[in-house]
Structure 1
Amino acid sequence: MNFLDQFILFLVSLVANTFSAFSGGGAGLIQFPVLIFLGLSFSVALATHKVASVALGVGAVLRYLKTSRLERQFVVLMLLTGLPGVVLGGNIILLIPDRMAEIALGILTGGLGIYSILKPQLGQNYEPVHRDWIGCVSGGMVLFLIGFLNGSLTSGTGLFVTLWLVGWFGMDYQRAVAYTLIMVGLFWNGAGAITLGLLGDIRWDWLPALLLGSLLGGYLGSHLAIKHGNRWIKRAFEIVTLFISAKLIYG
C-alpha cells in the first residue's frame, strides 16, 4: 500500500475505535467495510480487523489502568464463557450466509438501542444484582452466545456485552464499557484473531496503520468515557446501536 492508503487506514481506524471505546463497541461498523472496499476478501478483512481490534483493548487498558478496578469474578466469568464462544464462532463463520447474518444482527443491535432509549435510568447507577451462582451461570450462558457472535461477525457484539453487563448484572455504563473494552477488545478479539489467522490469511502490511489507529482510538475514547460519565456514554451507545442496525439491515 502507498502512503495515502496507509493514512486513510489510520484515520478510519482512529475514528472507528474512538467511537467504539466511548460507546462500548461498534468499531467494525466503519473499519471492516473499509477493508473490503480497499480490496480484501471477507475472510481476510475479518482476520485483519480482529488483529487490529486487539490494540483497542490495549489502548483502553492504558487509560483505565489507574481509574478502574476490575472484579476478579467478572474477569474469570468473561474469559471462561466468552472465549469458547469466540473460537467456535470463528470456526463456522464461513458456513453462514453473510447477508442473512447481517440482517439478523442488525435487528438485534437496533433492539438494544431502542431498549436503552425506553429505559431512561438504565446504566446510570451501579446497582449490583445476579451475583449469586445461578445468576453468574445464567449470565455466563449469554456471554457465551455473545462470544460466538463476536467470533463470527464484526459489528456490534461489544455493544451486546455492554448492555448485558448493565441490564443483567446491574453495572453502570461507565463500568460496563471498561469491562467490554478490556475483556472483549483485548482477550476475545485476541482469541478471534488467532482462530481466524490459523484458518485464513492476514494482511500484515496493512496492520501498522490499523494498529496505531486502534491503540490511539482506544485510549482517546476511554478518556472521553471517563471524563463525560454515564449519561453521555448512554447517548453514544444508543446512537451507535441504531446507526449500526440501519447499516447492517439496509447494507
Structure 2
Amino acid sequence: MSILDHLGLILIALVANGLSALAGGGAGLLQLPALIFLGLPFPVALATHKIASVALGAGASVRHLKENTFDAGRLVLILAAGLPGVIIGALLVLEIPPRAGEIALGLLTIGLGWYSWRRPQLGQATVTVTSDWTHATTGALGLFLIGVLNGSLTSGTGLMVTLWLVRWYGLSYTQAVAYTLVLVGLFWNGTGALVLGTLGEVRWDWLPALLIGSFAGGYLGASLAHRYGNRLVKRVFEIVTVLTGIALLLPGP
C-alpha cells in the first residue's frame, strides 16, 4: 500500500472510532466494511479490525481514567461475566456462518436505538437501582450473552453493553460509555483479538495505520463525551445504533 493508502486507513479509523467512543460502540460500522472494500476477505478483515479496535479502548481509557469515576465492583462484574462469552463467541465465529447472526443482530441493534429514542429521559442521570440475587444474576447473564456476540460478530455489541448498563444498572449514558470503552474496547476486544489473531489470519502491515487512527479516535470521542455530556452522547448513540443495524442487514460484498 502507498503512503496515501495508509493515510486513508488512519482517517477511516479516526472517524469510525471517534464516533464509537462518543456513542459507546459501533466502530465496525465504517471500519470493517472499509477493510473488506479495500480487498481483505471477511475473516482477515474481522481479525484485523478486532485487533485495531483494542487501540480504541486504549485511547478512550486514557481519557476516561482521568475522571476516576469507576466502581471497582462493576468493573470486575463486566469482566468476569463477559470475558468467558467473548472467548466462546470468538471460537464459534471460526466455525459458524455469520450471516444469520448478522441479520438478527442488525434488527436488535435498530431496536436499541428505537428504544432509547422513545425514552427521552433514559440515561440522562444516574438512577439508584435496588439489586438482589435475581437482579445480579440476570445482569451478569445479559453481559455474558453480549460477550458471546462480541466475540463472534462484527459490530453493535458495544452499543448493546452501553444500553444494558443504562437500562439495567441505572448508569447515565456518559458513565455507561466510559465502562463500555474501557472494559469492552480494551479487555473484551483484546481477548477476541487474541483468539482470532492466534487461530485466524491478520493483515499485519495495515495495523499501524489502523492503530494510530483508532487510538486518536478513541481519545477524541471520549473527550467530546465528557465535554458535552449525556444529551449529545444519547443522540449519537441512537444514530449510530440505527446505522449499524442497517449496515448489518445489508448483504455483504
**TM over 0.5: same fold?**
yes
Q: TM-score range by the shorter chain?
A: over 0.9
- Letter aligned with residue 23 of structure 1: A
- Letter aligned with residue 99 of structure 2: R
Residue aligning to 2:105: 105
Residue aligning to 2:41: 41
SS at match of 1:15: helix
Q: Is 1:90 equivalent to 2:90 in the alignment?
A: yes
Question: So what's the TM-score if we normalise by structure 2?
Answer: 0.96
1:86-121 C-alpha deviation (Å, 9 max, x unpaired): 000000113333321211111000000000011111
How far apart are residue 67 of structure 1 and its match?
1.1
Mapped contact 1:159–1:237 kept (Cα < 8 A): yes
Q: Is 1:189 equivalent to 2:199 in the alignment?
A: no
1:143-158 equivalences under 5 Å are: 143-158=143-158
SS at match of 1:95: coil
Residue aligning to 1:71: 71
Q: Distance in 1 between matches of 2:215 and 2:131?
A: 33
Q: Distance in 1 between matches of 2:201 and 2:130?
A: 41
Residue aligning to 1:141: 141
Residue aligning to 2:55: 55
Residue aligning to 2:114: 114
Mapped contact 1:109–1:156 kept (Cα < 8 A): yes
- Letter aligned with residue 121 of structure 2: Q
- Letter aligned with residue 6 of structure 1: H
Cα 1:95–1:130 change in 2 (3 A) is farther
Q: Name whichever of 110-119 and 33-42 sits farther off.
A: 33-42
Question: So what's the TM-score if we normalise by structure 1?
Answer: 0.97
How far apart are residue 205 of structure 1 and its match?
0.7
Q: Distance in 1 between matches of 2:35 and 2:171?
A: 34
- Letter aligned with residue 66 of structure 2: K
Structure 1 unaligned blocks of 5 or more: none
Q: Distance in 1 between matches of 2:35 and 2:232?
A: 30
Residue aligning to 1:242: 242
How far apart are residue 130 of structure 1 and its match?
4.4
- Letter aligned with residue 125 of structure 1: A
How far apart are residue 2 of structure 1 and its match?
1.6
Q: Distance in 2 between matches of 1:26 and 1:211?
A: 16
Q: Distance in 1 between matches of 2:169 and 2:195?
A: 29
Residue aligning to 2:125: 125
Q: Distance in 2 between matches of 1:224 and 1:190?
A: 24
Q: Is 1:172 equivalent to 2:161 in the alignment?
A: no
Residue aligning to 2:231: 231
How far apart are residue 38 of structure 1 and its match?
1.2
